Structure 1
Amino acid sequence: MLAWYDAHRRELPWRARPGEAADPYRVWLSEVMLQQTTVATVTPRFQAWTARWPDFRSLAQASDDDVMTAWAGLGYYARARNLAACAKAVVAEHGGHFPTTEAALRKLPGIGDYTAAAIAAIAFGEPATVVDANVERVVARLFRAATKPAVRAAAEAITPRDRAGDFAQAMMDLGSAICIPRKPRCLLCPLRDVCAAFAAGDQVAFPVKTAKARKPQRYGTIFWAQAGDAVMLVRRPPKGLLGGMRALPTGPWVGEPPGTTDAPIAADWTMRNATVAHGFTHFDLQLALATARVERHALPGDAVWWPVESLGEAGLPTVFAKAAKAIGGA
């Protein structure tokens, strides 16, 4: 695997070149950004982020509002809050440098088992076992391992003590480019001759997938209150889904379409024919769209009048950006 990696490694903006030491900050940031997000999507966002905040100290000094705005569109917004909290903890408790062990890394905000292992192996060379979706697929096929504990045990057994970080990245690259979910490119695989699933001819049966429960459906209404050339935006509560983000006002997300009963202000609301659909991890959401022209007046709390023409700079989460586009305001 290491010989294959040396010849075929991907060039990625967060990955150290051969002979260079990995930057722990860039390793950490990339691993957090890549959770449930593709390399193609992450690459330009990573480059913009590191141009603005190139290290722990600069990120620790950033405002929460700027961090959340920069994260908009990458999903799972708790990750952005944890990035800011982790940077502050690294500066305050570790002098601006990550601790080097997997166990110490797990004590920092937002760093779980997988991320701690990835940082420890890639940034510090610790022989930690890294199992993301690509690695899981490679190992499951290599050993015809049918359960996650079996995959984990097999991955631990083959993780080398030397170059553990390169080995982890090699397995990631193999899963991304060759050992792909459908129609794996086995004739190009350096592990083909020792792959149990290839020998059995049942590669696509692994990893074994468990049936997923159907996600519940929720409904809500998004309110577009426009005064002249500005639209009303609110700040979502700091805790909970999309916490702390600027957003269009919305009523509760419930089991039945709620209409305009929870409008943020009194107005002559018009229900649009269009709706916006969005999927979250634990439920699917369908939002009706209500619009109104109103007089500009003082707004309560953190609500603001935001220029419609610069709405793209508000850092709206994807579901609200979709709504704005459907209404014609972005």
Structure 2
Amino acid sequence: MRRRRGLRGVDQPVCGAGAGVSEVLVASGWGERKDEFQRALLSWFWRARRDLPWRGVGDPYATWVSEIMLQQTQVITVIDYFQRWMARFPDVQSLAAADEEEVLEQWSGLGYYRRARFLHRAAKVVVDEHGGAIPSTLEGLRRLPGVGPYTAGAIASIAFGLPAPIVDGNVIRVFARLFAIAGDPRSTANQKIFWELAEALVDRNKPGDFNEALMELGARVCAPRSPACLLCPVREYCAGFASGEPEALPEVARRSAVKPMRALTVVVHRRGTSGRDMLVGPREAGGLLAGMLEFPTVEREGTRWPELDEVASLLGMPIVAEEVGEVTHIFSHRRLQTRMYAAEIDAPVTVAEERWRWVPELELGQAAISALTRKIYERWKTSEPV
């Protein structure tokens, strides 16, 4: 075990894989100061917390929706989506009764669309199997589609007041610095430590506020770069601050290589009764952005480009198209380059495949299209002759 020079000259351990939570707390020398730590963190949170539309509403459904939306998405982005979502689906019954396309329309642009599908499926389970009442136990929440340990812990603690632990990226960063936990934060051993710490430290009287305070601290103070240590309400407990190198933790995990992909898409349009109509259809199930509407597109892994004839086969009709540009879109593990073509066809022409349908251009912005399709559409508009 390596050591860092800690606060007030006390050596503090740099814990790594293999260390249990008891060892971390005892070796850190502040296990008995847990109550002080909780009070300091909660006092700061009650004084400095942001006024967010899902806070303090006393609605488990609103908590659930917000936690799903906040996964891998910044708070500032989620606020507007959450408010629109709650206006359209104010309760679990209205969400369960909606069709998937409408759900995806409300989610459009937020990304990671599996979250919306899981939320929709889980709402149906709540209505069909629980009489519309969201389960109030960790075990019951975990049985809902798309609800993992973090989401279950967040709902249980915030909405139902249960002393349930939570661990997300912000909490990992806070704990890694507080206790100088070395090694890959995603490793099985370190994940076990983080969850055990979360369970040991959660305030039994105010578990929801405590968990929100941990996340708020990580988001606003204990940032990945240039953490605001001098503003931190719990810096006296932090081994990272004591070391003078808080940014060294958590250690940066090696990322997987981003895989290349190539695609060819054709923006097919025609003159409609009230302007232009755009030809779109749902992406195939099981892949990236499954079910979202897109222009006729052929994709493949690797660096070989699809051919225009492949899109014609997809539509079941011949097309004459002009190349208009190229866009690049980065997914978490893939880099997709798309060659764009445009084709205007005569209004009487129909498409052979039932998958495709015409959508008025004025309605395209409200349709269930992904950020990628939106990017292609905007790029195509700039390529049009004035």
Q: Could you say which TM-score interval applies, normalised by the shorter chain?
A: over 0.9
Query: Structure 1 residue 62 and structure 2 residue 98: aligned?
Result: yes
3-state SS of paired residue (2:265): strand
CA distance in 2, matches of 1:39, 1:50: 16
The equivalences for 1:145-164 within 5 A come to 145-146=181-182, 147=185, 148-149=190-191, 150-164=193-207
* CA apart distance, 1:154: 2.5
* CA apart distance, 1:94: 0.9
Query: Structure 1 residue 77 and structure 2 residue 113: aligned?
Result: yes
Report what 1:185 is aligned to.
228
Alignment equivalent of 1:310, drawn from 340, 343, 363: 363
Alignment equivalent of 1:285, drawn from 331, 336, 361: 336
* CA apart distance, 1:151: 2.7
CA distance in 2, matches of 1:36, 1:320: 20
Q: Which amino acid aligns with 1:319?
A: L
Report what 1:217 is aligned to.
260
* CA apart distance, 1:266: 1.1
Q: Runs of 4+ in structure 1 displaced over 6 angstroms?
A: none
Report what 1:260 is aligned to.
308
CA distance in 1, matches of 2:116, 2:220: 28
3-state SS of paired residue (2:301): coil
Work out whether residues 138 and 171 of structure 1, in 8 Å CA contact, stay in contact via their aligned partners in 2. Answer: yes
User: Which structure 2 residue ranges, 5 or more long, are not aligned?
Assistant: 1-40
Q: Which amino acid aligns with 1:70?
A: Q
* CA apart distance, 1:158: 1.3
Q: Which amino acid aligns with 2:219?
A: S
3-state SS of paired residue (2:309): coil
Normalising by structure 2, we get a TM-score of: 0.81
The equivalences for 1:3-82 within 5 A come to 3-16=43-56, 22-82=58-118
Normalising by structure 1, we get a TM-score of: 0.94
* CA apart distance, 1:103: 1.4
> Could you give the per-residue CA deviations for residues 218-260 of structure 1, whole angstroms, max 9, x where no partner exists?
0001111122221211122233321222111101233112231
3-state SS of paired residue (2:365): helix
Tell me the C-alpha RMSD between the 2 structures.
1.6
Q: Which amino acid aligns with 2:331?
A: F
Work out whether residues 220 and 259 of structure 1, in 8 Å CA contact, stay in contact via their aligned partners in 2. Answer: no
Work out whether residues 216 and 283 of structure 1, in 8 Å CA contact, stay in contact via their aligned partners in 2. Answer: yes
> Could you give the per-residue CA deviations for residues 2-50 of structure 1, whole angstroms, max 9, x where no partner exists?
1221211221100116xxxx21101100010011111111101100110
Work out whether residues 72 and 316 of structure 1, in 8 Å CA contact, stay in contact via their aligned partners in 2. Answer: yes
CA distance in 2, matches of 1:294, 1:139: 59
User: Which structure 1 residue ranges, 5 or more long, are not aligned?
Assistant: none
3-state SS of paired residue (1:222): strand
Q: Which amino acid aligns with 1:242?
A: L
3-state SS of paired residue (1:181): coil
Structure (1 or 2) with the larger CA radius of gyration: 2
